[in-house]
Structure formats: structure tokens, C-alpha cells
Amino acid sequence: MTRMTIDELREHLCAAYPDLCPLFSVEFGDGVLLVDSARLREALEDLKELGFDRLGMVTAVDFGDEFELVYRLTSRSMRVGMFVKARVPRSIASVRSTVDLWPSADWQEREIFDLFGIVFEAHPDLRRILLTDDWVGHPLRKDYIDDSIIRRPDYL
Amino acid sequence: MSFVWGLLYGTGAVILIAGGAVVGVWWERKVSARIQLRLGPQQLGPAGSLQMLADVPKLLFKEDVVPASADRLLFRYAPLAVFAPIAMSLAVIPFWAGWAPLDSAAGVLFFLAVPSISVLGILFSAWGSHNTLATLGGVRAAAQMVSYEVPRALAVLSVVVLGGSLQPSELMDAWRWWWIPVTLLGFGVYFIASIAEMNRGPFDLPEAESELVAGYFADYSGIRWAVFMMAEYGAMIASALFGAALFFGGFMWLPGVAGLAVHIGIAALIITAVMWVKWTFPRLRQDQLMTFCWTVLTPLALVQLVLAVVVALWL
Amino acid sequence: MSAECRTVVNVGPSHPSTHGVCRVLVELDGEIVRRAEPIIGYLHRGIEKMAENRSYLQVVPLTDRLDYVGSMYANWAYCRAVERLAGIRVPERAEYIRVIVCELQRIASHMMSIGSTGADTGAFTAFMYAFNQREQVVDLFEALSGSRLTYNYVRPGGVGADLPEGWVERCREFVAQHPAAMMEIDDLLFGNVICRARTKGIGVLTPHDAIGWGASGPVARGSGVDWDLRRDDPYSVYPRLDFTVPLGERGDCYDRGRVRLWECVESCRIVTQALDQLEPGPVQAEGLPRLLAPRPGDAYDHIESARGSLGVYLVSDGSVRPYRMHVRSPAFANLALLPMLAEGHTLSDLVVVLGSLDPVFGEVDR
Amino acid sequence: MAGVDEFARALEDTPGGGVVLTSIDAISNWARGHSLWIMPMGTACCAMELIAASFSRFDFDRHGSIPRPDPRHTDVMVVAGTITKKMAPSVKLLWEQMPEPKWCVAMGNCAVSGGIFHHDTYSVIRGVDEFLPVDVYIAGCPPRPESLQDGLLRLREKVRSESISPSRRRTVEGLLPLPGGEKR
Amino acid sequence: MAVTRDAIVTPRSVTNDYPGGVAGFVQKARSLLTGAAITARAARRPPVTVRYPAEKLTVSPRWRGALRLRGLLGRDGIELLTAQSPAYNSVIDGLRRSERLPGCVGNCPANVDARGQSFLIADDRVAEAYELVRQRNIMPGVLGRICHHPCETACRRNHYDEPIAIRPLHRFAYEQFQEFRPERLARFENTRGKRVAIIGSGPSGLAAALDLMRLGYGVSVYEKDAAAGGALRTGVPAYRLPRDVLAREVADLVEMGMELHCGVEVGVQIPLAELITRYDAVLLAVGLQTSRILPLPGAEAEGVRGALEFLRAGNGTGEAGVQGKRVLVIGGGNVAVDVARVALRVGASEVRLASLESSEEVPAHPWEIEEALDEGVIMTCSVGPEEVLAEDGRVVGMRVRECLSVFDETGRFAPQFGESLTNIACDVVVFAIGQSAALDALASDSDVKVTEQGRLVVDGSAFTTSAEGVFACGEVVTGPGSAIGSIAAGHEAAISIHRHLESIPVDASDRVRRPVPTYARYAEVDLRLVEDLRRRAVMPLADAEERARDFREVELGLSRDHAMAEAARCLRCESEICVGCTFCARTCPDLALMVERDDTPGARCLTRYELDLTLCSFCGLCAEQCPTGALVHTGQYELAFYSREFMTFDAAEMLRDPGGTRATGADASRHASEGGAAE
């Protein structure tokens, strides 16, 4: 199958799941589906159904009060990739795991748990992965403080 | 008297093995270097030939580490237990017409049996180190050495059948040049089995660098480790000398000292071939190693034996 | 045998065959691996955190240290994300140079991987031969960028410097002799009966698992997953170049290794074509500010690195530093397969399987 | 090292033993200097150059240095690469497994001071000398293989000041002769 | 291995198995032999090993080894470009060839050494700076006010924050020079005994005059107006260039030996032919005198005027007859802006600029437009004049047509007009759309040929006209341009005259027009991040409301402190002397560099330059962006040290050429001082 354009993807998505359609936007040439964290799981299931068979990347961004979870999905059959984004509040940073949909989420979710402290419910083995088990804090949070960090001064 | 002889002989064997190991290690480093498009040791002496003169004293002055959790007795004496049988096996190698240091009537048997005792030493060291990887290495070594005894013995047996004697000197007297084509297959088996016996690549599983780091001698340092290395090279030298004598006639080609030189020359060629093989081929896996021994090597040795028997009878 | 009787062996974190600092906790039943759990993070240097306090240009040297066997890839992936974010158009010559260096980098990186297949199985000489080829590429890169390993060559908006004089000829010389050298290594290693015995049927990865676990690059292609970003999500000038994507059938270590080997041959073809099509011109986008400050937003871009699809996700808040950088590392995804692949094989096979996944821990741990 | 130390002490106590000790020192230092076997503690980028240093092109073996993966058989630990907080205990353990006398070479700026990872990061140890006694520091990111070889040749100079007797060891600083003065 | 390249074709599937049975066994056995053969063959090949350290690999010239400084502020001086006129070009060419030409110098038509000026001013040697600049820019006081400063466009500092205020520094130098003036003006004698007549005292004529005087010729300048200055006097408004400044600069030239004949119109009072016979050479530097007026319907109505005439009237008398009237200026160039601003000053009630180009494309300098807008000029962009609306022969307005685009894709002038028409009400229309020369009277009695379009026939590179011994330069040759461009042309013409008079043959390279170097286009710098002390000195301006009423000077000049600080900002590009600009330290991702400097005038020096080798990641970004080229990588890679303390290189260490590859750290020097005692 030839490479699908963003517009074709939008049409395809809208035809299959009309409720997801208004959430779809295009940013820097990539399709983005911005969903509510409550509906995240549902949307991901739908997209898997649609043919997005690879979960290339899961990561999170710290936006102060909220964390944004970013899922990068790729479809081999449609030859197209897209993002799914959802924001979770910092106070209850928890979201349903996607390991059962795509096993590749396993380590990546562990990494997010490790570095951001976002809890993935129903993850089979949610432990720290990169840091030592006794590490305190989640370094990629913007408010992470560690005495051992020597800040590089602002010097441009 | 025999005690004095034994002492003399023992000293001689140690010196021979030590010297052989020194030369052997240098030679191996050179051979591997050339195969790998390198230069190898270069700084000390011509072509780096004195490199070992630096390595050995260094190991000598190295701290002798005994791990806290080790079985001290086994750990300390295991290198000797590995080394001694190898040194002993040198005794029966015929260097001169009608002469071997220990020209026993069961000399060939002695040569086949005694080095195998070093398996015990290896097991001692593996167990004594109290280290999982070392233990794995030791167990591998035991299995491997015991198994490869069989084809090796069978291969040697074909020469014994032809010569009709187990005494090395007599065997050498009986040796004729046409044995070479007859026992060529046997030599192949002997060669491969000997490599396995001395735990060298591609059969170096007990000390597999990429798997077990250093295997059974992983915890040895300094001179004790050097003894292990000497044992390895000693086994190589012994096997090569013995093989050169039995399968290629050794000193039989030329009279006197020249014969001895030929003998050593053939052995050196064999040793070089051993090194060549090591630096060319990948390592086998344990199960493949055993399968190879029992399904390929042993039948081949048996074929050789049958061939030798047929030839011997036909004569 | 019950779990209590199993031996637990700790392979690593400094072990000759872990290709860096990986620790594999292995539960052995005799020599059979019942469970292998990679413990990573021994090289977690916090590059993603560091990038948040460096300007966009200053991040480039950091990306060098991600995949240190193939620095050019991380450079490029990062630069592509920056370019996407800041809307920079890269001059054509720069794109060609990027393709050339990245294909050479693929050769260099695969040489490391193929060589270590040899080292893992005990054929050290093959490693040396492969490394000799790698050294030649490294020499080319040194002439180009002035560094042997951390090139800092691909920059946002182009490349660091134009090709030096005589470089194209040297490069042609290299790619002319490389395939034959590869065939020699093929004979020495993958043609060898022992090596075949050690790699065939070991660590079989099914296509289904490969996709589900997000495997990419030679690991996925070894399983017959026909997916190569250079062809399937074409970027840069790859659509103008003709190349084959070699595939495996069984998904075992042998196929993975040999896919790499043939990819090197294909890389030579690509480099030759790219050199033919190379035309003079600028190598840096014009009028690039010293401090990039892209508009707020996020961008992701990926390239096919030697290990698979290497993506960089950048978030900008409009300042001169990235707000967040995340590296989608193929080695990380591939390494996650290890427990599945190693199970049921012997300890000796474990190192071969690990080697065939070709992890680079700078990239895995970031 | 206990046995050797006792031997050395005994020699020192013996009249005339000092001369013997001096000559033994000369031999052992010469031997040690020319047989620096490497414990390749390669963690990151520098490990690649460490590998390259012992491979065909640069061939460490020419200097009598060979890499051995087993700490017990080695004399020099070459710390090549970033040491993270998670990794440091392992490095320390391996260092402790090495038999005396042993030396440590910090190869590359990560091992020297954290280098590029000195600032802003939470997980990197800023220099391996925080927990190991480093003898030779090699700057570079990564250093060339020759650079490492040069570092080991510098170390060889340093080893000359060793003694098997603890009382005779001296610390050397600032001894960095130029290559022209050396015999090869 | 005897494999040809064609034989190697990538299979679609890489999997291959041994055949079963005996064939497989044979193949297996053969594979072992093949392997052994490969290693055996390898053993016969020569090793690839480098016998380090006895032999060393040649590292690539780009090798990013340890860093080194070539020169240091306070220790090394920079090269001032001080050659005399004919030699000056070769100095510049030499620098250009070695890629060491600073952007400011290269981009200046006259190659004024702005770098040297900044160096001298920051060093409190202002008079020297003035004289350095005057070599090429004959009237720094004048150009320091009116120049369009291409130098600042090419200033490397654009890359980091804002360019150096080179033009204000010219002016500052001039103002400071006034103190030294009497004792520093030397008279040039006519040593060669040859005389040159120069017709026109505009910038090009005066530039040629000064150069020729320096070369030892006697120079007479003929000016048809009452005072010298040419377009500088008649065209440039007094609020930009006070007349006394111009007069003093001209007076300086007269004091240096220039003969000035004002009020003499050649061609009317003296025939050109007479000059040709009286002088050894004649230079026509008459400039452009008439404005172009579009032949639109109604263009002959009263109230339609040309820009030059308007400016001449406005500048000369302060009265242009537009008191209380609405003025519409057609054109978007600098002349149009000048007209508009003059019109305001002479009392126009409303001034409107109508340009063809859109507001982004207007050719006038943005700062000029900004000042004009401040003063109350109204801008109407993207309109093309269609028709002058007149009632009773008097202008009442202008009909303009919407202009869609001015340039086509290739950048040629090809305006595209839309449909919509607008009427702009006005009383006076001033066309500022171009100028042309008026040569008829001048050339009528000589051999100098003039084309039918009224242009001189001139050799563009040698500045010779069709008559022997008659040269031409300035805008009459090049067309409308800048003052500094005219000065550059004057210098070139002087060289040409000198050649002619001394019969120096012209070789081919001299005939080739000097290529205009291209400098990097700088993107807008994000000034949010720039500290105040790195910012460009702001030129104080007179209050917009106040200044718009009369011809007071708008720019008030830099104070001494500001000027010193500004000059100290100069990066001294390509001088290979580190000036402590700290950009290496700022670019370094690892903070391995520490740079501090002292800016005391007269004692500027670098107080600290440290390279912490332990932090350096050898990424090369610092040397790459070093503006001076002082910071360079060495091939040195053997950087082994016994102690971390020695790994920080101070300035002295950085200055030492390591020579070879062996690291000479602090250790080595210490070792040397101990005389190898440790051995």
C-alpha cells in the first residue's frame, strides 16, 4: 500500500470513528489526536483496531500542573504515523497501561514511571528501570531537585 | 637413585614446560597478530621475543589473591594439581631412538591417562573459587575432557595396532613412513581431540572469554594463574610432541640431534596449527561439543582403528 | 526442576559480551536459561534532562554520545526534529552529505555488530577484520569532522563543514573495496559451520512479536518484517536512490547478523549513487540564527539508524532551549526482546542473542 | 600482596639486602611497566576507542599490553566512559578484585571529571577519582587510541617509581618526559 | 578474495541453509577450510598496524585536538590596514585570498578599516583612529553621519547580538580629532610636478583629490557651486549633515594642499578643453544633477517637482515653497525619505510617501524610515503612480494604482499592478525615482563622448573616458549610489590616473572588477537573551517633535564613554588575536572555557583565559564560531596527565604552540624546570 497522507488518514479515521474526528489536528506535518485522559485507553484501542500496529514511542512531558503523555503510533499497512496525546493532572498522575495492546509499551512505561513518576495501572511489572531502585524522586520532572546536580549557568 | 632421577626429571620437565610456555605464548601472540593483521609484541627483544621475560616476573610479583569465600586448600593447590599431571605426561614421550625419559611398557597408556588427572585439578579450582561462572567452567571442562579422552585414545590406538606395542620406544622402532597416510585420519582425530583436551579454541568453553569471562581460573591471579597457563601450554607441547612422534615418526627421519630437531619442528608445526585453528574458528556450544565428540569424532576414530587393524592384519 | 534449584548468574554489568554496561540476571537450569532479565540504566546519564538546559546547537554534542557506535544517526535525527520545529530548509548538498555519512556510519556500526557476533562466538579474528573496515570509515569521518567517534557533524540546518578536498575519491575507494571485504567476513563467519551452528535457530523472533514489541531495524528485518524507514517513510534524498532491503526469514541470530552484512553492501551502493548525484552548493541553511528559538510546539522525526528507527521528540516553549527532548531509541525497544529470545537457550547462546540485538547502551539508557 | 611485602621487609632488614631489593625493584618495575595488562572498564563511547586501541590498527600488544576481561589477571584498570551512580559500585568492586600492584587510568573526560556530563545531570559521577586512585588522566572525548597508548606509556614511567617494598614507594608527580628521550 | 563487485548482489532473503546429506557435509567441511584459508591469506598480508609512537598517523587537518590561542588581547597588536592607495587594494586582496578579511572591511566599498578603528578607539587612540579611517574614507566626520554603513550589515556581531556602531564611531573619531587637528594636519607637496584637475567636489572627487595629493600630485578642484561638497551639500539634508562639518572637512583637505575653485562651472566659465591642456589629467566627478520625472498624464502641472531640485532648494535656503501644503513624495528610496523629511522641515502641512514596494521591500534604510515615521511622515506602500490630478494646471492630487508585486521570481524589476485605484489629495508631488547626469554643457567642446541617453562613455574598470587624459568617476559613472561608493570610485580613479601619469602598465588582473565578497546573511537575533553590556550603544536622537521643525541635527553623537564601550565590543574578526569576546565560553556546551577581560581604555587585556581540559568535549563549537580565528584546534591528542590539576590550561599555556603531537601540559614545563631530576 502506498503511503497515506495526513488528509487521507483524517478521512479514514473520521469514517471509522466519528467521535475521534474533532480531536484530530495536524502539527508540524504529523497527525495529532488530543484526547481526554479518561478516554485515552478507548482511543488507543480504536486506533489499534484501525491498523496502528506499532507503538513506536511513549513519553511524557512535564507541563507544570499537568503531564502530557505522548504516544507515537505507526501503521505498517497505511504507512503513516500519528500522535495521541493526553494530559493527566500532576496530582493524580495515573493512566491505564497499554502493555496488553502493544508489548513495546512495557519498558517505555517503566521508564516514564521511573523518570516522571506517572503510574500505569495494570502494568505487569512497574518498577524503576533506569535508575537504582532506591532512587528518590523523578528526575525528568521540572521541579526535581537533587543536591548533586551542578547547574550549568545561563550563559548564552 | 630413581628418586634422584625423578627429581632431575621433574626439574627438567618444569623447565621444559616453562620455557615452552614462554616461547609458546610469544609465538601465539605473534601468530594471532599476523592472522589479525597486527604486529604483536614488538618492543622487547627482536620481534618482541623477550616480552614474556616481562610478563613472567610481573605475574611473579603480583598479589596472590585468595577470595574470602574460597576453599583455601583446594584453591591454592588446584594449579599444581592441574600442572603436575601435564608435566608427568612428558615423561613417556620418546625423544631419542629407543629412549624415553620413562620408557614404560605401558607408556602410551600412561600418556593417555595421566593428563586426564588434571581434570580433577580443574574441578578443584572451579569448586574452590566459589564462583558460579568458575564452577560452570569447571563442569564444562570435566565433561569435555572426559569425553574427548575416548576418540583421542582410539586414534592413538590405531598406531599402537600398527606398531604392536604400548611402549613408546618400541613403537618408534616399528614406525615406518607409510604409516602416515594410513593414520592420517587418526591424526586428525587426535589433533581435534587434543585441542579439546587442552581446552583451546574452538573448544575453549571452560574458559570462554565471552561467556564465562575466564572460566575456572577466573579468580586466580599472579603466579597461580601463570601455572594454569603453563599447564595449558604444557599440554599443548606434550600433545604436539607425542603426536609428532607417533603419527609422523618424530626423530626417525634423521639420525641423532638432527632427528630431535625434526621432532621438535614437527611439534612446532602442530602447535602453530593449533593456534591457527584457535584464531580462525568460532567456539562451539557445550551440547554441540558433546554431539561432535560422540557422533563425529568417535566414529571417525573407530573407522581409523578398523583401517589400522585391517592394514596390520594384511601385513 | 523447581525454581529454587536454579542457579542465578549475574552477567555484567562489566562483562566482555554485554557490549557495554548491561547486567543480565540469568536464572540457569544447568546451562539452560530459564529467565533472563536485562537490568539497564548503568549508563543512564540523563541526556534528556541535560538537553533542557542547553541551546539547540549545544545539544548536538550530547546526541553524539547517545549512540556512540553511530553518532551520525542521533545527530541527524535530532537535527531533523529541530528543523521540523524551526521550519528550516536544508540545502540539497547537505542532504546528500548526510545520506553519505549516515550510510558510511551504518557500515561502521554494523561492522561493530557483525564483529561482535564473531567475538561472542569466539571468533575474534573476524572481529578484527570487521574492525579494520570500521577503521577506514572512521578515518573518513575524521577527515570530515575532525573526530573519530563523536562527530558533531550533522547540525540543524545542514552539516558542520563541507567535504574536504579529495574526500570523495577516498570514499569511493572505500566503497569499492568494501563489498569484497564483506564477502570475506561472510565466508569466515556466517559461512562457517560452527558459527552457523551457534547462530541458526537461536533467539527466534516471530514477525508478530517483532511488530508488537516495536522492534525495528535489522532485528525486525531479520524476522522478515519488511519495514525500512528509508523506503517506507522516505526522508531526505532517499527516494532518489536505489537500494534493496535485505530480509531474513527465520528471525534467528543468523538472519539478523546476515541482514546487517548485506545492508553494508547496500550502503555501499547508496553511497556510490549519492556521490554520483552530489552537486556543489551550500551545506548550511542560509541565515540561520546562532540561537535557534523555534515557535512553541512539538515535533517528532525519525530516521533509520543502524539499529532501527531512531526518533527524536522535541518540545519547544519558544525559548532557545528545548523544553523536553525524548529519544525513541531502537536499541531500547530491541533489548526488551532479550528475555523472550534467550529463554530456553543455553548461557552461551544468551551472549549471542544479546549481541544479535546489537544494543548500544548509550542509546538504551540515554 | 602480603607475601611479597614480607619478603621485601625481610630483605630490607638483612644487611646488604637493600642492594638486592633495589635490583629486584628494577627488574620488577621494568617487568611491570612492559606488561601492563588492561582491565577494560569500558562503559561508553571511550570503550570504542579502547577496543580500537587493542585492535589491528593500533595494536596494544606491541607495548605488551593486552586486554583481559578478568580483573584478577590485570594490572591497569582503564576506566573508559561515563561512570554513573548506578555503575560506580560495580567499578569499585572490580577494582577491588584486581590484585596489587594495580593502576588506574581515567580515559576520556567522562572518567576524568564527568566531562560533558559534568553539569546538569543527576546520575553521573564527576570523575572516577572520586572513588578510585587514578594514576593517569587522559583528556579527550574520546581520546584517540594513540592517546590511550601514550597514557599507558606515561604510566610505564610512573611504574618505575614503584617498589616491592612499601617503604620505598614514592609518589610521582609531574614526571612527563618527552617521547624523544625514550628508547624503543 | 577474487570476488568482483558485480558478483555481489544483495539477495532478497539472507537466509541460506546447507543442503542435506553428503553435499551438506562436504560444504560444512569446506567452510572450515575456507575459513582457515582466509586467515592464512591474512597472515601473509602486511599488518595494518601503526607503529605508535615511533610512527604516527597523520591526523586530519580538521582534527579537534586540544585548543590553542594564536594571539591574545593585550599581548599582541592587531594588523592595521594602513597601506597607501594603490597598495591598499593588494592588502585587501591578500586578506581576502587567505580568508582573513573582516566582514566590515570587505563589505565596505572603500574597504575602510573599521576593525582598526574600533581597536584604536577602544585603546584611547582616537586621533590615530581618525587618521586610519581617513585614509580610505576621506571625510569620516561626514560619512560618520550619512553613510549607509554596509560594514555594519556584514558585522560578525550581528550573529550574536547587534552590530558594532561603526558609523557613529567614525563621527566620534572626527569629533575627538578636532582637538588634535592643528598639529596633525600635514601638507602634501606636489613632489611629482604634475597637476590634475578634478571637476566636481563631491565625495568621489575629493577622494580622488586626497589620494592624488598623497601620491604627490598637485590637485585643483573645480566646483560650480559656491561651496565644495557636491551632493553632500545640495542633496543631503542639513539635519543629517550639518554644513559646518562638511566645510571643516573640506577645509582640512584644502589645508593639506588641495586647490579649490568654487563657483567655477566647467564648460560654462572654463571650457573643458582648456583644462585638458592646462592639466596633466582631468577627472570628471560631476555626479548627477537632474531628477527623473515620470511622463505621466498631468506631469507638467504646477507643483510637480524633482527630488534634487527640491532638496537643493530646501537645503540651501530652508524654503522650498511648500509652506502649509500637502506634499506627496513618489519613491521609496533614501532620497524620497530625505525629501519627505525636508518637506516636513520646510513647513509642509502633511507629508506622504508613496512607494511602489511593499513596506518590507522598501529600498530605503529601515532606520531612516523609522525616523521619518517618528517625525510624522505618512507612508503608503505598494502603490504605483498612475496619473497626476490637476485642476487649472495645479496639482490637486495623485491617482495611484495598487501594486501587487515589484520583482519577479528572478529578482528583476517587473512590477505587477492590480485593479484598484486610489486618489491621494496633495498640493505638491515630488518625484524621487532616480537621477541622471547633465553633461551637455560640460562635454560640448571636448573629445569626451556622451551617449544619446546623456551618459558618459567610460571604461568601468579603468575610469577612462573616450578622451586621452580625461577620467571620470563617481555617480556619473556608476549611477545613483552611496556616498561611500562614490568615495571608493574616487580611490579607484586616482589609481587609474596615477597609472596613466606614471605610465604604469595595466595588467589583466587590474582590469577585472574586484569581486564583491558575499557575507553570511544574519538571521534576527533573539535579543531577549542578551545582557545590557553586550548591547550596541544607542545613538541619542533629538526629540522627534522638536527636530521635525528645523534643520537641527537629528543624531546627537555618542558620548566618550559610550564610544569607548562600543569600540570595545568589536570582535576584531579574523585578526587571530583573542579579544575575550567570551563567545567561545558561551558556545561551549560544557563550560570548559572561562574568559574574562579588562576594558580599561589604553590597557585592555584579557585577564583570564582558561581551558578546563577535563570538561572539554572536543566538540569544536568554540573554535568554529571564534570570530577572530584566534582559537584553533591543534593536532595534539596525547593529553595524558598525572594529576587533574594540570589539566586546566591558562592563557600562557594556551598560547604555546605544542608543536607535534605530544602534550605539553604544565607537567612538561615543570619537568623541564626540574631538569628531569625525577628520572
Please give the distance of CA E676 from its chain centroid, rounded to a whole number.
Answer: 55
Which of A71-80, B87-96, C19-28, D8-17 shows the lowest per-residue confidence on average (mean pLDDT)?
D8-17
Considering CB atoms only, which of B41, B54, B222 is closest to D31? B54
Please compute the mean of the pLDDT values over residues E574-578 and round it to a whole number: 84
Q: Given pLDDT bands bounded at 50, 70 and 90, which one contains residue E454? A: low
Domain enclosing residue C96, as ranges? 48-349
Nearest C-alpha of chain D: how many angstroms from B241?
Answer: 29
B225 in contact with D, Cβ within 8 Å: yes
Please give the distance of CA D150 from its chain centroid, rounded to a whole number.
Answer: 12
Domain annotation covers residue C226: yes
Q: Given pLDDT bands bounded at 50, 70 and 90, which one contains residue D121? A: confident
Q: Could you tell me the sign of the dihedral formed by the alpha carbons of E77, E79, E81, E83, in that order?
A: positive
Residue D183 predicted with pLDDT over 50: no
**Alpha carbons A32 and A9: distance in angstroms, whole number:** 11
Q: Which of D2-6, D144-148, E517-521 has the highest mean pLDDT?
A: D144-148
Q: What is the pTM for the complete model shown? A: 0.85
**Alpha carbons E64 and E622: distance in angstroms, whole number:** 11
| Candidates 3.30.40.230, 3.90.1300.10, 3.40.50.1360, 3.50.50.60; CATH matching E293-433 | 3.50.50.60
pLDDT at E411: 67
Please give the distance of CA B108 from its chain centroid, rounded to a whole number.
Answer: 15
Q: What class does CATH assign to A6-91?
A: alpha beta
- Kindly report, residue by residue over A65-112, the tens digit of the pLDDT: 888 888 988 888 878 888 888 888 888 888 888 888 888 888 888 888
pLDDT at B158: 86
Please give the distance of CA C42 from its chain centroid, rounded to a whole number.
Answer: 19
- State the cell numbers at E63: 582534527
Please compute the mean of the pLDDT values over residues E464-484 and round it to a whole number: 79
- Kindly report, residue by residue over B4-18, the tens digit of the pLDDT: 888 888 888 888 888
Q: What percent of chain E has pLDDT over 70?
A: 90
C-alpha neighbours within 13 Å on the C-beta side of residue E671: 21
pLDDT at B29: 86
Q: Which residues of B touch E (CB under 8 A)?
A: 31, 33-39, 42, 276-277, 279-281
Nearest to C118 by CA among C127, C109, C131: C127
- The single-letter DSSP state of residue D167 is G
Are C132 and D142 in contact (CB < 8 Å)? Answer: no
pLDDT at E62: 83
pLDDT at C351: 85
- Kindly report, residue by residue over E390-433, the tens digit of the pLDDT: 787 788 888 888 888 777 776 677 777 888 888 888 888 888 88
Instruction: Identify the closest residue of chain B to C18 by CA–CA distance.
Output: B210
- State the cell numbers at D57: 590498527
pLDDT at E512: 47
Are D137 and E647 in contact (CB < 8 Å)? Answer: yes
| Candidates 3.40.50.300, 3.40.50.10800, 3.30.70.3270, 3.30.450.40; CATH matching E67-73+575-673 | 3.30.70.3270
Which of A16-25, B163-172, C91-100, C324-333 shows the lowest per-residue confidence on average (mean pLDDT)?
A16-25
- Residue C146's CATH number: 1.10.645.10
pLDDT at A3: 72
Domain annotation covers residue C182: yes
Nearest C-alpha of chain E: how many angstroms from D53?
Answer: 10
Backbone phi and psi for residue B257, each to the nearest 5 degrees, phi listed first? -65, -35
Q: Given pLDDT bands bounded at 50, 70 and 90, which one contains residue E42? A: confident
C141 in contact with D, Cβ within 8 Å: no
CATH 1.10.1060 residue ranges of chain E are 79-184+525-570
Q: What percent of chain E has pLDDT over 90?
A: 0
Burial label for E410, CB within 10 Å (0-12, 13-18, 19+), is exposed
Tens digit of pLDDT at every position of chain C (366 positions): 444 567 777 777 777 666 778 888 888 887 788 888 888 888 888 888 888 888 888 889 888 888 888 888 888 999 999 988 888 888 889 999 999 999 999 999 998 888 888 888 888 888 888 888 898 899 889 888 888 888 888 888 888 888 888 889 999 889 888 888 888 888 888 888 888 888 888 888 888 888 888 888 888 888 888 888 888 888 888 888 888 888 888 888 888 888 898 888 889 888 998 999 888 888 888 878 878 888 888 888 888 888 888 889 999 888 888 898 999 888 888 888 888 888 888 888 888 888 888 888 888 888
Most distant pair of Cα atoms in chain A: their distance: 54
Residue B308 predicted with pLDDT over 80: yes
pLDDT at E672: 41
Please compute the mean of the pLDDT values over residues E87-116 and round it to a whole number: 83
Burial label for D159, CB within 10 Å (0-12, 13-18, 19+), is buried
Count structural domains, chain C: 1
Please compute the mean of the pLDDT values over residues E534-541 and round it to a whole number: 80
Range E98-103, long-range pairs (CB < 8 A, 24+ positions): E99/E574, E100/E574, E100/E576, E100/E629, E101/E517, E101/E574, E102/E156, E102/E572, E102/E573, E102/E574, E102/E575, E103/E151, E103/E154, E103/E155, E103/E156, E103/E519, E103/E573
C189 in contact with A, Cβ within 8 Å: no
pLDDT at C296: 87
Instruction: Identify the closest residue of chain A to E530 by CA–CA distance.
Output: A156
Q: Given pLDDT bands bounded at 50, 70 and 90, which one contains residue E45? A: confident
Burial label for E37, CB within 10 Å (0-12, 13-18, 19+), is middle
Residue E665 predicted with pLDDT over 50: no
Core vs surface per residue C216-241: b (16+ CB within 10 A) or e: bbbbbbbbbbebbbbbebebbbbeeb
- Asked if chain A contacts chain B via 3 or more Cβ pairs within 8 Å, the reply is no
Are A150 and D122 in contact (CB < 8 Å)? Answer: no
Angle between helices E166-184 and E126-136 (to 10 degrees): 100
Please compute the mean of the pLDDT values over residues E327-336 and round it to a whole number: 84
The larger pLDDT score, comparing residue D173 to residue B16, is at B16
> Do β-strands E290-291 and E304-306 pair in parallel, antiparallel, or remain unpaired?
unpaired
Q: Given pLDDT bands bounded at 50, 70 and 90, which one contains residue E514? A: low
Please compute the mean of the pLDDT values over residues D113-119 and round it to a whole number: 86
**Alpha carbons E357 and E417: distance in angstroms, whole number:** 11
Size of interface A-E (CB pairs under 8 A): 7
Residues of C in contact with B32 (CB under 8 A): 125
Are B39 and D62 in contact (CB < 8 Å)? Answer: yes
Q: Report all structural domains of chain D as residue ranges with CATH numbers, in order of start.
A: 1-34 (no CATH), 37-160 (3.40.50.12280)
Residues of C in contact with A30 (CB under 8 A): 299-300
The larger pLDDT score, comparing residue D15 to residue E191, is at E191
CATH 3.50.50.60 residue ranges of chain E are 293-433
| Candidates 1.10.1060, 2.60.40, 3.30.460, 3.90.1490; CATH matching E79-184+525-570 | 1.10.1060
Residue E287 predicted with pLDDT over 70: yes
**Alpha carbons D9 and D25: distance in angstroms, whole number:** 13
Nearest C-alpha of chain C: how many angstroms from E36?
Answer: 8
- State the cell numbers at D148: 590511550
Peptide bond into C296 cis (omega under 30): no
Residue E664 predicted with pLDDT over 70: no
Residues 6+ apart with CB under 8 A from B41: B26, B29, B30, B33, B47, B48, B49, B51, D61, D62, D64
pLDDT at D61: 84
- Kindly report, residue by residue over E151-168, the tens digit of the pLDDT: 888 888 888 888 888 888
